[in-house]
């Protein structure tokens, strides 16, 4: 998405200006992740398809990922049951400090939430973080913990494929990725009402990490592919997961892959739950452009940064509609 168009979209959505008409949407790529565990030829084709989807579209759907339907259903149930708790229970996790290990709120401090409530917490390594998670509903830690572990596994599979496709090799950063940050955002969007003019639940943005893996119980996610100037609705395919490229993967690839601009719109038929699992390096570990992808024809395009840098960026960016990755570009003042 051109930078000017991105800023126009972001500004217009914050001011309640209606969206531009959507052209017929191109189907999103659907990746059969099971091919990564077959013979070498199938693995190579799957790697090719994943990197092509990242490069051309910035996102894709994955099926045959090995996560049981009961695990995904359990995670959505745990999220839904948490949001149904009394305000008193949920407010136990309310905080203005975005560095807290768990945080509940009904309006974001990052300037992009329009109409949602959310619970955010860390998840990897699970033993380090689960003690901060809610004990109500009673099965929350069990169900969300099982789902978080599966998300980490899938993220490792996908990152190995992407790093191979970039020519860096599947073991590149392996240890740092295994011990890296997993940040989970549980989102609760109300049903859109006829009286509400602004239908945006979460304004256009991109995510900070390498990959975001999203599970949703109903449609509402919209993405803007790199070569498009219109929003594409993402269907809620039963059993599928949605994957998109984050800011730090754009940096690591030295711009070969671009992070995906996306937003959430309110569903006119029902409320919506989504669970985003964002994966990156540890909190203080900086991500730099891979040296192997820098040469005289491909100069270094981004400054290094960490998750802590991202957290520092958020308060200064409220209502400015600037993406984190834009602040990292070398040509930025």
Residue 295 lies in a domain: yes
For residue 31, the SS3 value is strand
* pLDDT on residue 281: 98
pLDDT at 267 over 80: yes
Residue 227 lies in a domain: yes
Main-chain phi, psi angles of 290, to 5 degrees: -60, 130
* pLDDT on residue 130: 98
Confidence category of residue 18, pLDDT binned at 50, 70, 90: very low
Strand partners, 302: 329
Residue 238 lies in a domain: yes
* pLDDT on residue 17: 39
Distance between CA atoms of residues 246 and 306, nearest Å: 13
pLDDT at 13 over 80: no
Residue 30 lies in a domain: no
Domain count, the chain: 1
What does the pLDDT look like over 204-221, one tens digit per residue? 999 999 999 999 999 999
What does the pLDDT look like over 216-263, one tens digit per residue? 999 999 999 877 788 999 999 999 999 999 999 999 999 999 999 999
* pLDDT on residue 23: 52
Poorest-confidence range of 13-27, 243-257, 277-291? Answer: 13-27
Residue 43 lies in a domain: no
pLDDT at 51 over 50: yes
Percent share of the chain, pLDDT over 90: 79
Poorest-confidence range of 4-8, 152-156, 173-177, 296-300? Answer: 4-8
pLDDT at 108 over 60: no
Residue 60 lies in a domain: no
Structure-model confidence comparison of residues 5 and 269, the more confident one: 269
CATH number reported for the structural domain that contains residue 197 in this entry: 2.60.120.330
Confidence category of residue 25, pLDDT binned at 50, 70, 90: low
Strand residue runs (E) in the chain = 30-32, 59-63, 102-105, 117-124, 182-189, 200-205, 211-216, 221-224, 232-233, 241-245, 261-265, 272-279
Task: Give the structural domain span for 245.
Answer: 69-328
The 8-class DSSP code of residue 295 comes to B
Cis before 125? omega within 30: yes
Which residue, 13, 16, 22, 8, is CA-closest to 230?
A: 22
Q: Please state, rounded to an integer, the average pLDDT across all residues of the chain.
A: 89
pLDDT at 33 over 70: yes
Distance between CA atoms of residues 303 and 259, nearest Å: 16
Q: Which residue has the tokens 């790697």?
A: 47
pLDDT at 7 over 70: no
* pLDDT on residue 320: 64
Helix H segments across 166-235? 174-178
For residue 296, the SS3 value is coil
Residue 276 lies in a domain: yes
Residue 49 lies in a domain: no
């Amino acid at each position: 998405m051109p930078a000017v168009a991105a800023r126009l979209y972001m500004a217009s959505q914050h001011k309640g200006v209606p969206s531009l008409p959507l052209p017929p949407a191109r189907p999103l790529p659907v990746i059969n992740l099971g091919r990564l565990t077959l013979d070498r030829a199938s693995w190579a084709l799957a790697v090719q398809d994943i990197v092509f989807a990242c490069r051309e579209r910035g996102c894709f759907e994955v099926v045959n990922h090995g996560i049981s339907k009961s695990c995904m259903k359990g995670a959505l149930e745990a999220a839904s049951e948490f949001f149904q708790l009394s305000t008193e229970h949920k407010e136990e996790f309310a905080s203005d400090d975005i560095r807290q290990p768990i945080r509940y709120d009904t309006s974001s401090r990052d300037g992009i939430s329009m109409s949602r409530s959310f619970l955010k917490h860390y998840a990897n390594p699970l033993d380090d973080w689960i003690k901060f998670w809610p004990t109500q509903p009673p099965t929350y830690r069990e169900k969300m913990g099982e789902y978080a572990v599966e998300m980490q596994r899938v993220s490792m599979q996908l990152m190995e494929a992407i790093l191979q496709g970039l020519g860096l090799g599947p073991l590149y950063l392996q240890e740092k990725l295994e011990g890296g940050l997993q940040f989970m955002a549980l989102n609760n969007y109300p049903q859109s009402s006829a009286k509400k003019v602004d239908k945006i639940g979460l304004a256009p943005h991109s995510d900070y990490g390498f990959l975001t893996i999203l599970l949703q119980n109903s449609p509402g996610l919209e993405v803007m592919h790199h070569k498009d100037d219109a929003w594409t609705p993402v269907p809620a395919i039963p059993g599928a997961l949605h994957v998109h490229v984050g800011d730090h993967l754009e940096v690591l690839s030295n711009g070969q892959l671009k992070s995906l601009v996306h937003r959430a719109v309110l569903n006119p038929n029902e409320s919506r739950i989504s669970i985003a699992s964002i994966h990156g390096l540890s909190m203080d570990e900086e991500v730099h452009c891979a040296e192997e992808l820098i040469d005289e024809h491909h100069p270094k395009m981004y400054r290094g940064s960490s998750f802590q840098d991202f957290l520092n960026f958020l308060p200064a960016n409220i209502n400015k509609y600037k993406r984190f990755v834009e602040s990292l570009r070398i040509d930025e003042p």
